[in-house]
Protein backbone atom coordinates (compact mmCIF):
# COMPACT_ATOMS: atom_id res chain seq x y z
CA UNK A 1 0.00 0.00 0.00
CA UNK A 2 0.99 3.61 -0.35
CA UNK A 3 2.11 4.91 3.04
CA UNK A 4 -0.52 7.66 3.09
CA UNK A 5 -3.89 8.07 4.78
CA UNK A 6 -6.85 8.49 2.42
CA UNK A 7 -8.24 11.35 4.53
CA UNK A 8 -5.54 14.04 4.40
CA UNK A 9 -2.52 12.16 3.05
CA UNK A 10 -0.57 11.97 6.29
CA UNK A 11 2.24 9.41 6.49
CA UNK A 12 1.03 6.25 8.27
CA UNK A 13 4.28 4.44 9.11
CA UNK A 14 6.92 6.79 10.43
CA UNK A 15 9.80 4.30 10.66
CA UNK A 16 11.62 3.07 7.56
CA UNK A 17 12.00 -0.46 8.95
CA UNK A 18 10.81 -2.62 11.80
CA UNK A 19 7.65 -4.31 13.00
CA UNK A 20 4.24 -2.79 13.52
CA UNK A 21 3.31 -2.29 17.16
CA UNK A 22 -0.41 -2.96 16.55
CA UNK A 23 -2.74 -4.77 14.16
CA UNK A 24 -3.99 -1.47 12.77
CA UNK A 25 -2.28 1.29 10.82
CA UNK A 26 -3.52 4.48 12.49
CA UNK A 27 -3.07 7.90 10.99
CA UNK A 28 -1.38 10.31 13.42
CA UNK A 29 -3.43 13.26 12.09
CA UNK A 30 -7.12 12.34 12.54
CA UNK A 31 -6.75 8.71 13.73
CA UNK A 32 -8.33 6.97 10.77
CA UNK A 33 -7.35 3.31 11.20
CA UNK A 34 -6.75 0.68 8.55
CA UNK A 35 -6.50 -3.10 8.78
CA UNK A 36 -3.35 -4.82 7.56
CA UNK A 37 -5.34 -5.67 4.42
CA UNK A 38 -5.73 -1.93 3.73
CA UNK A 39 -9.41 -1.61 4.65
CA UNK A 40 -10.58 1.48 6.54
CA UNK A 41 -11.98 0.03 9.77
CA UNK A 42 -12.28 2.99 12.15
CA UNK A 43 -13.09 6.68 11.77
CA UNK A 44 -13.35 8.43 15.16
CA UNK A 45 -15.33 11.43 13.89
CA UNK A 46 -18.99 11.46 14.87
CA UNK A 47 -19.90 14.03 12.20
CA UNK A 48 -19.32 12.10 8.98
CA UNK A 49 -21.12 13.21 5.83
CA UNK A 50 -24.36 11.42 5.00
CA UNK A 51 -23.72 8.33 2.91
CA UNK A 52 -20.10 7.98 4.06
CA UNK A 53 -19.03 4.36 3.54
CA UNK A 54 -15.70 3.16 4.95
CA UNK A 55 -15.52 0.60 2.13
CA UNK A 56 -14.99 3.51 -0.31
CA UNK A 57 -11.73 4.57 1.39
CA UNK A 58 -9.23 1.69 1.47
CA UNK A 59 -5.51 2.41 1.25
CA UNK A 60 -4.21 2.79 -2.29
CA UNK A 61 -2.78 -0.55 -3.39
CA UNK A 62 0.63 -1.14 -4.93
CA UNK A 63 1.36 -4.04 -7.30
CA UNK A 64 4.08 -6.26 -5.91
CA UNK A 65 6.02 -9.08 -7.62
CA UNK A 66 8.55 -11.48 -6.14
CA UNK A 67 11.28 -12.89 -8.36
CA UNK A 68 14.09 -15.09 -7.07
CA UNK A 69 14.30 -13.30 -3.72
CA UNK A 70 13.87 -9.77 -5.10
CA UNK A 71 10.80 -7.60 -4.49
CA UNK A 72 9.56 -5.43 -7.36
CA UNK A 73 6.98 -2.69 -6.82
CA UNK A 74 4.91 -1.15 -9.60
CA UNK A 75 3.10 2.12 -8.81
CA UNK A 76 0.99 2.14 -11.98
CA UNK A 77 -2.77 2.23 -11.35
CA UNK A 78 -3.22 -0.75 -13.66
CA UNK A 79 0.11 -2.58 -13.98
CA UNK A 80 0.65 -4.83 -16.97
CA UNK A 81 2.10 -8.21 -16.03
CA UNK A 82 4.70 -9.13 -13.46
CA UNK A 83 8.18 -7.70 -13.06
CA UNK A 84 9.61 -10.79 -14.75
CA UNK A 85 7.49 -10.20 -17.86
CA UNK A 86 9.23 -6.83 -18.30
CA UNK A 87 12.78 -8.25 -18.27
CA UNK A 88 14.74 -8.33 -21.49
CA UNK A 89 16.03 -11.57 -23.05
CA UNK A 90 19.47 -11.12 -21.46
CA UNK A 91 17.88 -11.69 -18.05
CA UNK A 92 17.58 -15.35 -18.99
CA UNK A 93 21.36 -15.51 -18.61
CA UNK A 94 20.83 -15.13 -14.86
CA UNK A 95 19.29 -18.59 -14.54
CA UNK A 96 22.61 -20.16 -13.53
CA UNK A 97 23.18 -17.64 -10.71
CA UNK A 98 21.67 -18.52 -7.30
CA UNK A 99 20.16 -15.07 -6.74
CA UNK A 100 17.66 -16.28 -4.15
CA UNK A 101 20.52 -17.34 -1.85
CA UNK A 102 22.19 -13.92 -1.76
CA UNK A 103 22.45 -12.18 1.60
CA UNK A 104 23.12 -8.56 2.52
CA UNK A 105 26.84 -8.18 3.15
CA UNK A 106 26.77 -4.53 4.13
CA UNK A 107 24.19 -1.82 4.59
CA UNK A 108 24.80 1.91 4.75
CA UNK A 109 22.07 4.41 5.53
CA UNK A 110 22.74 8.11 5.21
CA UNK A 111 20.18 10.89 5.42
CA UNK A 112 21.01 13.76 3.07
CA UNK A 113 19.24 17.05 2.48
CA UNK A 114 19.46 17.06 -1.32
CA UNK A 115 17.65 16.37 -4.56
CA UNK A 116 17.86 12.56 -4.64
CA UNK A 117 17.79 12.40 -8.46
CA UNK A 118 20.81 14.69 -8.85
CA UNK A 119 22.67 12.85 -6.09
CA UNK A 120 21.96 9.46 -7.67
CA UNK A 121 23.01 10.59 -11.16
CA UNK A 122 26.29 11.98 -9.81
CA UNK A 123 26.92 8.97 -7.59
CA UNK A 124 26.43 6.48 -10.43
CA UNK A 125 28.77 7.95 -13.01
CA UNK A 126 32.46 8.63 -12.69
CA UNK A 127 32.90 12.12 -14.13
CA UNK A 128 33.27 13.34 -10.54
CA UNK A 129 35.48 10.49 -9.28
CA UNK A 130 38.86 11.61 -7.93
CA UNK A 131 41.65 10.87 -10.43
Which residues are CB-neighbours of 4 under 8 A, at least 6 positions away?
Answer: 10, 11, 12, 59, 60
Nearest-angstrom CA–CA distance, 15 and 64? 20
Confidence of residue 105 (pLDDT cuts 50, 70, 90): very high
Averaged pLDDT, 117-130: 75
Q: Is residue 49 part of a domain?
A: yes
Express each pLDDT in 20-61 by its tens digit. 888 999 999 999 999 999 999 999 987 888 999 999 999 999
Averaged pLDDT, 104-111: 89
Q: Is the pLDDT of residue 74 over 60?
A: yes
Q: Is residue 8 part of a domain?
A: yes
Range of the domain at 25: 1-77
Percent of the chain's residues with pLDDT above 90: 44
Spatial CA neighbour of 95 closest among 74, 121, 67, 118: 67
Confidence of residue 78 (pLDDT cuts 50, 70, 90): confident
Confidence of residue 90 (pLDDT cuts 50, 70, 90): confident
Q: What is the CATH number of the domain that holds 69?
A: 2.102.10.10
Answering whether pTM is above 0.75, one says: no
How far lies 101's CA from each of 36, 68, 93, 120, 131, in Å?
29, 9, 17, 27, 36
Q: Is the pLDDT of residue 131 over 80?
A: no
Q: Is residue 27 part of a domain?
A: yes
Amino acid sequence: FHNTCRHRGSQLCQDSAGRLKARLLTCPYHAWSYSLRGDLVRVPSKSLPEGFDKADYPLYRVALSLWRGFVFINLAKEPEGSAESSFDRASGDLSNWPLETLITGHRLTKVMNCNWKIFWENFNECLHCPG
